[in-house]
């Protein structure tokens, strides 16, 4: 009879240790919030320096750190009471298995976690007050006024969105559910409107899942999936994905271009291209070519410029960007985006498409850059996007907000080269 008690004591001791470590990691992360700091790389280094962290530890600490970042302006004044601060943080976090394991350490144990969309109430706040968590310039940059639904979405972690990459010819949903817990399995479903799109819970353990390892499915945010589906005529021919990163959109584009078309993928970052290469291999797609150097000549039926940006559309997933980004960064990005767009526009063949996109919600990086491009580049005209998924292209491009599909926010605009 004494052994379980002993184990329980050890386990409680370990949980209290995790709370202590979380608090000290959060303190250290505060110094990583200066503009320009590569937050995820530094966090990775911080975890690595601890040596003994396993993947569960990393998931636990990341969830708590990201929760802190979402609510930072409201939480900072509470740091002086470490225990009360940690109690609050654990209840604000998404109740993943790792977070739930900390519940026995709470002073007042919650029987049921507060619903995610209402967790801010633990801080005695109203939904409209969530705007205090955003940088003060943000509301002036978005075309759509801030709504309660939009604010609530910004402080909640998005689900995991997947794209069916290879038609496996059997019930992929059933296979995905196999290793999931009953709570996770209940949230796995095909999207009713967006072909090939699957919703899964944020903490779904995908990394070692056979459907992922064999390339049947890929991780891709729902709004990102919609972007390429909105091109009026399905893409065909030879395309260039000029800012391909690790290939989120390249893989979908290659799938859409099959069986006759192909895509060349380029990015300034060789590490991203290496990841793209391994994802392409996993997908089994044969129509992707990776270009380490920017193509200087030749012409393409379509060029996608998914430009580097301030990333406000991804604040839900990357809350450190909400803390790091200054208004000046937005204007700096806008200059860069116009220059990149002009540069790659030269590679579009006559009659071809140029697609400009960002994961920013600032009109300065979106509509304004597109308008400036058209002002000087008279070879191009506005190309309406198909009015699908409930969005309307009123001649200025389409902005998808995080609350529209419970994903990222992004902007997309297409131009047709006419001469």
Ligand X SMILES: C[S@@+](CC[C@H](N)C(=O)[O-])C[C@H]1O[C@@H](n2cnc3c(N)ncnc32)[C@H](O)[C@@H]1O
Binding-site residue ranges: 267, 306
Nearest distance from C-beta of residue 272 to ligand X, angstroms: 5
Cα(407)–Cα(409) distance, integer angstroms = 7
Nearest distance from C-beta of residue 305 to ligand X, angstroms: 8
**Full DSSP string of 204-240:** ---TT-HHHHTTSEEE--HHHHHHHHT-SSPP-SEEE
The pairing of strands 300-306 and 348-358 is parallel
Nearest distance from C-beta of residue 163 to ligand X, angstroms: 12
In three-state secondary structure terms, 318 is coil
Nearest distance from C-beta of residue 153 to ligand X, angstroms: 20
Can you state the angle between helices 248-257 and 270-283, rounded to 10 degrees?
Answer: 40
Cα(354)–Cα(83) distance, integer angstroms = 54
Please calculate the CA angle 33-139-372 and round it to the nearest 5 degrees: 95
Nearer to ligand X, 200 or 263 (CB): 263
In three-state secondary structure terms, 394 is coil
Nearest distance from C-beta of residue 101 to ligand X, angstroms: 33
| 359 in active site | yes
Nearer to ligand X, 120 or 411 (CB): 411
415: left (phi over 0), alpha (psi -120 to 50) or beta: beta
Nearest distance from C-beta of residue 174 to ligand X, angstroms: 29
Can you state the angle between helices 327-345 and 367-376, rounded to 10 degrees?
Answer: 40
219, β-bridge pairs: 162
Q: Check: CB of residue 290 under 8 Å from CB of residue 265.
A: yes
Nearest distance from C-beta of residue 355 to ligand X, angstroms: 11
Binding site residue list for S-adenosyl-L-methionine = 267, 306
Q: Which residue has its beta carbon closest to ligand X?
A: 248
The residues that touch ligand X, with contacts defined as CB under 6 A, are 224, 242-246, 248-249, 266-269, 272, 306, 308, 340, 359
Cα(405)–Cα(419) distance, integer angstroms = 37
Nearer to ligand X, 53 or 331 (CB): 331
Q: How far is CA 93 from CA 16, 61, 83, 98, 339, in A?
A: 17, 11, 16, 10, 40
Q: Check: CB of residue 152 under 8 Å from CB of residue 117.
A: yes
The pairing of strands 288-291 and 160-164 is unpaired
* Active-site residue (options: 29, 211, 309, 359): 359
Cα(206)–Cα(221) distance, integer angstroms = 14
Question: By CB neighbour count within 10 A (0-12 exposed, 13-18 middle, 19+ buried), where does 257 fall?
Answer: buried
Which residues are known catalytic residues? 359
């Amino acid at each position: 009879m004494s052994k379980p008690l002993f184990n329980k004591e050890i386990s409680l001791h370990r949980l209290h240790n995790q709370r202590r470590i979380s608090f000290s990691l959060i303190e250290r992360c505060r110094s990583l919030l200066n503009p320009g700091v590569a937050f995820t790389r530094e966090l990775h280094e911080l975890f690595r320096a601890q040596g003994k962290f396993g993947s569960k530890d990393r998931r636990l600490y990341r969830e708590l750190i990201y929760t802190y970042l979402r609510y930072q302006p409201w939480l900072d004044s509470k740091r002086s009471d470490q225990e009360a601060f940690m109690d609050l943080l654990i209840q604000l976090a998404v109740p993943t298995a790792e977070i739930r394991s900390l519940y026995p350490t709470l002073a007042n144990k919650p029987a049921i976690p507060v619903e995610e969309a209402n967790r801010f109430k633990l801080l005695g706040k109203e939904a409209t007050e969530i705007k205090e968590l955003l940088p003060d310039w943000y509301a002036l940059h978005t075309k759509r006024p801030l709504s309660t639904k939009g604010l609530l979405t910004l402080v909640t972690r998005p689900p995991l969105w997947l794209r069916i990459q290879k038609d496996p010819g059997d019930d992929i949903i059933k296979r995905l559910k196999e290793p999931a817990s009953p709570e996770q399995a209940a949230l796995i479903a095909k999207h009713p409107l967006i072909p090939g799109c699957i919703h899964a819970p944020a903490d779904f353990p995908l990394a070692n899942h056979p459907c992922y390892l064999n390339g049947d499915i890929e991780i891709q945010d729902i709004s990102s999936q919609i972007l390429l589906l909105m091109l009026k005529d399905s893409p065909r021919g030879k395309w260039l994905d000029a800012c391909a990163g690790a290939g989120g959109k390249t893989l979908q584009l290659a799938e859409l271009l099959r069986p006759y078309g192909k895509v060349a993928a380029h990015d300034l970052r060789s590490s991203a291209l290496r990841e793209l290469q391994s994802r392409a291999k996993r997908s089994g797609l044969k129509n992707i070519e990776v270009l380490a150097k920017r193509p200087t000549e030749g012409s393409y039926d379509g060029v996608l410029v998914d430009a580097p940006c301030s990333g406000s559309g991804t604040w839900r997933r990357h809350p450190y960007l909400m803390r790091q980004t200054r208004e000046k960064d937005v204007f700096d990005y806008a200059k860069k985006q116009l220059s990149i767009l002009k540069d790659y526009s030269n590679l579009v063949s006559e009659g071809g498409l140029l697609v400009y996109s960002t994961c920013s919600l600032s009109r300065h990086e979106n509509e304004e850059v597109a308008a400036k491009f058209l002002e000087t580049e008279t070879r191009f005209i506005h190309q309406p996007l198909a009015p699908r998924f409930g969005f309307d292209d009123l001649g200025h491009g389409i902005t998808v907000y995080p609350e529209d599909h419970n994903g990222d926010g992004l902007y997309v605009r297409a131009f047709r080269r006419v001469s």
